[in-house]
Amino acid sequence: MEEYEYLMLTYPEADEYESAYEGAAQAYADWSVQLTEQDDYEQAVLRLLAVIDTYSNSTAAADATQMLPQVYLDWGKKLSSQNHFLLAMEKVEVTRTLGVSSVLLEDADEEFQKTVLLLARDEGEDGQIVLSEALVQACNGKTPNHPSVGLLIDEPGKSMNCYKVGPAGGTWWSMPSELLATTPGNFRYTVFRKGDIRVVGSCPYTGGATLERLQEVEEVVINLVATGVQVAKKAFYGGYPSACPRVFFFQYSTASIMGDQVSNSTINEWIAQVLK
């Protein structure tokens, strides 16, 4: 191959130029076959693209064009077997868009769907990447665009908390692991919790001071990931504040007393019932 390219570069007007041109193109094509047999699909693709781009008028260029989709498909299968599902889908998608034979397209479609299903069950790095992106999208009113999200419709749906990535003012709390999505395929619900404080009464004291009696209120909203439609909404109330004491020492003109906090376990029990 190097001899062919040297001849082409040094003697572009020579009678042997055309045969060198064809020989170099075929050498790249043959090299790609060897690389494919060694499962070095990335380098095989580069050699085929060299034939197609640099030697586009050669006989080997047509063969390379036919070979390229299959190499991408085989590359995708190899990546999928190594749990690199996102990269695998990219390579298989190339095969699906190159306008190849119907048989190869069927194989590519089958491999693509197989990889999506594997990714839907993946608790590894790729699954967490998809899950994180889907959470941001779903918590901000957008439908997740990855086909693996929510795919496992025959299995119990799980949820994720919008506290960090959703609307401002959310409340964090610890949700039990059995409610949380661990794979893209079982992520079916978002949960958003927002707290507020309401004044349930006030007591005047000597000197114009006022003691407010406050109660915590937490509103929890559960939405479907696929559509953003609200599934359930409920307000939870903390404990009622105690009565105003006869004597209270004020640092400022206004002070407050608060009832007990909203029970996290009560909220989690309700979420579990909704998700059933």
Tens digits of residue pLDDT in 181-238: 999 999 999 999 999 999 999 999 999 999 999 999 999 999 999 999 999 999 999 9
Tens digits of residue pLDDT in 22-75: 787 888 899 999 999 999 999 999 999 999 998 888 889 999 999 999 999 999
Tens digits of residue pLDDT in 138-172: 999 999 999 999 999 999 999 999 988 877 778 88
Question: pTM for the complete prediction?
Answer: 0.83
Task: Give me the CATH topology for the region 2-120.
Answer: 1.25.40
Least confident piece of the model among 113-127, 164-178, 239-253: 164-178
Confirm if 167 and 103 have CB atoms less than 8 A apart: no
Residue 8 pLDDT greater than 60, yes or no: no
Extents of the domains making up the chain:
2-120, 144-275
236-268 exposure pattern, b = at least 16 Cβ within 10 A, e = fewer:
bbbeebeebeeeeeeeeeeeeeebeebebeebb
Question: Of 8, 47, 49, which Cα lies nearest the Cα of 28?
Answer: 47
Pairing of strands 230-237, 187-204: unpaired
Residue 247 pLDDT greater than 50, yes or no: yes
Dihedral angle, C-alpha 94, 97, 99, 100, nearest 10 °: 40
Pairing of strands 187-204, 158-161: parallel
